């Protein structure tokens, strides 16, 4: 058997511990109906109580929004009065950056007994990062060599291919059903909650971002709260995230959550970096002067306005900001109403 490096050993140790605790959970679940207030005492044998961190997150806490603690064995009770909820939304779109894995028990005890004959009862879920980590471990373990007879492929663990595949754990669950009970372990805190308004932002993140958990577009800017947080990284509780005078929904004109060609950035006050804000902003030490490009704040390039996506709107080699100051200095006449721009 080849030597496995320290990182893989630590990873396997973590996964093995999780599997061991999960087995205790299943045994306890099989013997009694789950009680949210007493499950901790039933779940672990007496000699392990106090030595293995344990936590139960009730359905009420999930509805209100809470955090799944790291390196703790956690039971989750999905609320009964919610709709089916995707894993990504339930756990705050954390899977790309956080390793977590878990397991949901089937609702019916008889069904559980039948499924247990095939291995784990119920279904397993793995975060994207956990799946990638497991794939990497598999790739390393599959650095195979043949035995002396060249008949059997051996992995670094000394397992043949059939034995290796038999022990693999695969992602199975993307949608969480109301009223189910699940186990989870994570390496970092996870924001968990329901999504009553269907905006893609769970109740924990709604509280964290200051948005309304009952309104899909809390600030009324034309963009859903989830789209603002996960795609645009804009503020779901502020209509004009960058303060340039143009509401976010006008900057992201097609409402697709990305800054496309021909659109300004809702998170940057000056998208084309020409020194003039995209909309119309107050400037100066006392804020008495207004300066910008979309003078009527309608998100459209009108006649007489400089472009807020082109730093040299008329292509004469002079930036829009410099043309503005040339106008102020009287180099293009006494009027500074933007008629100097050749748009």
Q: Per the structure block, which two tokens stand in for 326?
A: 């040339």
Pick the more confident residue, 301 or 114. Answer: 301
Contact assessment for residue 237 and residue 205, using Cβ atoms and an 8 Å cutoff: no
Residue 8 pLDDT > 70, yes or no? no
Residue 147 pLDDT > 70, yes or no? no
Residue 312 pLDDT > 80, yes or no? yes
Residue 45 pLDDT > 70, yes or no? no
Residue 317 pLDDT > 50, yes or no? yes
Q: Is the alpha carbon torsion for 46, 52, 53, 56 positive or negative?
A: negative
Q: Which of 68-77, 230-239, 309-318, 322-331 has the lowest mean pLDDT?
A: 322-331
Residue 326 pLDDT > 50, yes or no? yes
Residue 39 pLDDT > 60, yes or no? no
Task: Report d(CA 26, CA 43) in Å as an integer.
Answer: 8
Write down the pTM of the prediction: 0.74
Percent of the chain with pLDDT over 90: 48
Contact assessment for residue 182 and residue 104, using Cβ atoms and an 8 Å cutoff: yes
Residue 180 pLDDT > 90, yes or no? yes
What are the angstrom distances between the C-alpha of 251 and each of 16, 222, 299, 341? 49, 10, 6, 22
Task: Report d(CA 277, CA 290) in Å as an integer.
Answer: 10
Mean pLDDT of the chain: 78
The count of other CB atoms within 10 Å of the CB of residue 215 is 16
> 85-112 pLDDT, tens per residue?
999 999 999 999 999 999 898 766 555 5
Percent of the chain with pLDDT over 70: 68
Task: Report d(CA 35, CA 22) in Å as an integer.
Answer: 17
* Per-residue confidence (pLDDT) for residue 68, from 0 to 100: 97
Task: Report d(CA 315, CA 159) in Å as an integer.
Answer: 68
> 232-287 pLDDT, tens per residue?
999 999 999 999 999 999 999 999 999 999 999 999 999 999 989 999 888 777 76
Name which of 82, 83, 66, 80 is nearest 184 in CA terms.
66
């Amino acid at each position: 058997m080849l030597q496995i490096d320290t990182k893989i050993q630590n990873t396997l140790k973590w996964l093995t511990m999780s599997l061991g605790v999960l087995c205790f959970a299943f045994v306890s679940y099989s013997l009694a109906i789950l009680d949210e207030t007493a499950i901790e005492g039933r779940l672990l044998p007496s000699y392990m109580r106090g030595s293995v961190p344990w936590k139960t997150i009730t359905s009420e806490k999930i509805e209100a929004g809470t955090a799944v603690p790291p390196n703790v064995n956690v039971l989750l009770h999905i609320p009964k009065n919610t709709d089916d909820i995707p894993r990504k939304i339930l756990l705050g779109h954390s899977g790309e950056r956080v390793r977590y894995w878990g397991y949901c028990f089937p609702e019916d005890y008889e069904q559980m007994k039948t499924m247990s004959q095939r291995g784990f009862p119920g279904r397993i879920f793995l975060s994207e990062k956990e799946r990638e980590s497991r794939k990497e471990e598999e790739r390393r373990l599959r650095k195979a060599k043949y035995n002396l007879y060249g008949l059997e492929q051996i992995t670094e663990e000394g397992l043949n291919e059939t034995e290796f595949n038999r022990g693999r754990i695969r992602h199975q669950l993307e949608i969480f059903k109301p009223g189910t009970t699940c186990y989870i372990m994570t390496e970092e805190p996870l924001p968990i909650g329901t999504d009553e308004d269907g905006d893609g932002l769970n109740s924990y993140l709604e509280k964290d971002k200051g948005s309304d958990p009952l309104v899909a577009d809390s600030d009324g800017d034309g963009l859903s709260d989830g789209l603002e947080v996960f795609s645009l990284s804009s503020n779901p509780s502020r209509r004009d995230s960058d303060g340039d005078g143009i509401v976010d929904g006008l900057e992201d004109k097609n409402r697709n959550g990305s800054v496309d060609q021909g659109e300004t950035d809702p998170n940057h006050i000056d998208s084309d970096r020409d020194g003039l804000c995209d909309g119309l902003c107050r400037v100066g030490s006392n804020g008495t002067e207004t300066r910008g490009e979309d003078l009527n704040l309608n998100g459209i390039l009108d006649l007489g306005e400089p472009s807020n996506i082109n730093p040299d709107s008329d292509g004469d080699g002079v930036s829009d900001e410099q043309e503005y100051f040339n106008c102020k200095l009287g180099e293009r006449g006494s009027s500074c109403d933007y008629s100097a721009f050749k748009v």
